[in-house]
Each structure stands twice: as structure tokens, then as C-alpha cells.
Amino acid sequence: MTEAVLAPTEVVLTDRAAKRVSRILSKEPEGTVLRISVAGGGCSGFQYEYNLVQEKAASDDIVLQKGDAVVLIDSMSLEFMGGSEIDFVDDLIGQAFQIKNPNAVASCGCGTSFAV
């Protein structure tokens, strides 16, 4: 079976991640969304930031929506995240959002920081 190749500006939100985002947003005030961005820092040079915000999408944001789950990614972060898949894992180590990023040449053990 071959893996789907995503366009360089496409980001996919898995069903598991969408369910978790929906659950989180259901406990927040109406209009709250999850904003995922890339910032300098972390043990590998860049890190993902997850923030619950009450804002509308900016003209240069991409909006990922599945059911009640709404995720915003700004255009600058998209340059680092294009082609990624946002998933949610629940295993023996713990629960966390996990971004499978084809642009990352290295990442840390916790999966929240990466190098390009």
C-alpha cells in the first residue's frame, strides 16, 4: 500500500485528533478554536505551540475543520508544517497531539520540537 503524498501547503487533521480537539473545545467558551503554530525554541530548534484562542481566522490562516473541531494555522507556520498530519496518540507514555512533519529532518524524543 502506498502512502498519500500531501501538497506542500496541505495539512491533515486525523479523525482521532479531531475528536480530541472537539472534546477540548466543548469545555471552552463558544467561538474558541485551537491555534497551532511554529516558534523558535525547543531542543531541536523549532517547537509546536498549541493555544486555545477566541478569534476568527485571519486572511492568511488555513482552517482545518472536522465536525466541531476547528484548528487554525498561520501562513508562516505553514511554511514549516506543509504536508504534515496532525494526530492524537494515547499510549503507555501518555496522551499528546503528534505532528508527522515531512519537513523535519530531526526531532526530539517528546515530538514537540524539530529541526528543518
| Residue 43 pLDDT | 67
**Domain 12-115 classified CATH 2.40.110.10?**
no
The string of DSSP letters for the chain reads: -PPPPPPTT--EE-HHHHHHHHHHHHTS-TT-EEEEEEEE-STTSEEEEEEEE--PPPTT-EEEEETTEEEEE-HHHHHHHTT-EEEEEEETTEEEEEEE-TT-SEE-TTSSEEE-
Q: What is the pLDDT along the chain (116 residues), one digit of tens a residue?
A: 455 555 556 899 999 999 999 999 999 999 999 999 998 876 667 889 999 999 999 999 999 999 999 999 999 999 999 999 999 998 887 888 999 988 877 665 555 555 55
> What pLDDT score was predicted for residue 24?
97
pLDDT at 113: 56
